[in-house]
């Protein structure tokens, strides 16, 4: 559905919403890449990841941490996140483009995903979570 940046003096705090959990995870990925790189297009780069954790919050952190790892070592910028979520098992197909310093250097390097205040909350119209990215 959406993500928005909230006020935070030191780091980047994002509020992410999704109609269901899979969409929440997809939007969280989009939010993170928005912070890091700004604009991105699907230019045919595709990557699949699979993650399992003991609860949804840990799964979200592991998933975002895996995205950080992949983008850094593979020099790719992702813009679409096709997430399949079964319980606390996730598989996702990521699509995007190669990192291009000329287009992708306006963002902020994220060092890690904080556990602080991270709680996935069910609301009437879906799910919401607030995530602090350490930059």
Partner 1 sequence: MLTGINKIGDLEWEVPIGYVPDMRVPGRFFLSRRLAETLEEGAVRQLANVATLPGIVKHSLAMPDIHWGYGFPIGGVAAFDMTEGVISPGGVGFDINCGVRLITTPLIEADLAGKKRELIERLFDAVPTGVGAKSAMRISNKDLTAVMVDGARWAVERGLGTEADLVRCEGEGAMPGADPGAVSAKARQRGLPQLGTLGAGNHFLEVQAAREIVDPEAAKAFGIAEGQVCFMVHCGSRGLGHQVATDHLRTLEGALPKYGIRLPDRQLACAPIDSPEGRAYYGGMVSAANYAWANRQVIMHEARKVFAHLFGIDYDEMRLIYDVAHNVAKFERHDVDGVSTEVCVHRKGATRAFGPGTPGVPGEYAAVGQPVIIPGSMGTSSYLLHGTTTAMQKTWGSTCHGAGRVLSRSKAKKEIRGKELRERLAGEGILVRAHSDSVLAEEAPDVYKPSGEVVRVVHEAGLSNVVARLDPLGVIKG
Site string for partner 1, 34-53 (x = CB under 8 A): --xx----------------
Q: Is 115 in the site for partner 1 (CB under 8 A)?
A: yes
What does the block give as tokens for 36? 């890091």
How many Cβ atoms from other residues are within 10 Å of residue 121's Cβ? 9
Angle at 33 between CA 29 and CA 36, to 5 degrees: 145
82 burial level (CB within 10 Å; 0-12, 13-18, 19+): middle
What residues form DSSP beta bridges with 96?
Answer: 45, 78
Task: Lay out the site mask for partner 1 across 52-91 (x = CB under 8 A, - = otherwise).
Answer: --x---x--xx--x--xx--xx-x----------------
Please, where are the H alpha helices in the chain? 21-37, 56-74, 101-104
Q: Is 93 one of the binding residues for partner 1 (CB under 8 A)?
A: no
| Minimum separation from the CB atom of position 61 to partner 1 (A) | 7
Site for partner 1, residues 6 to 25, rule: CB under 8 A: 6-12
Please give the Cα distance from 19 to 33 (Å, whole number).
Answer: 20
Nearer to partner 1, 23 or 27 (CB): 27
Residues that bind partner 1 (CB under 8 A): 5-12, 36-37, 54, 58, 61-62, 65, 68-69, 72-73, 75, 99, 101, 104-109, 111-118, 132, 134-135
């Amino acid at each position: 559905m959406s993500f928005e940046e909230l006020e935070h003096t030191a780091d980047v705090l994002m509020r992410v919403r999704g109609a269901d959990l899979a969409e929440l995870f997809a939007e969280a990925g989009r939010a993170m890449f928005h912070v890091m790189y700004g604009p991105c297009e699907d230019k045919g780069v595709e990557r699949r990841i699979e993650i399992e954790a003991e609860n949804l919050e840990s799964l979200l952190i592991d998933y975002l941490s895996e995205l950080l790892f992949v983008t850094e070592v593979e020099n790719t910028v992702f813009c679409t996140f096709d997430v399949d979520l079964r319980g606390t098992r996730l598989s996702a197909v990521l699509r995007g483009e190669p990192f291009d310093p000329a287009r992708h250097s306006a963002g902020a390097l994220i060092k890690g995903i904080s556990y602080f205040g991270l709680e996935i909350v069910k609301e009437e119209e879906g799910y919401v979570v607030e995530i602090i990215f350490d930059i």
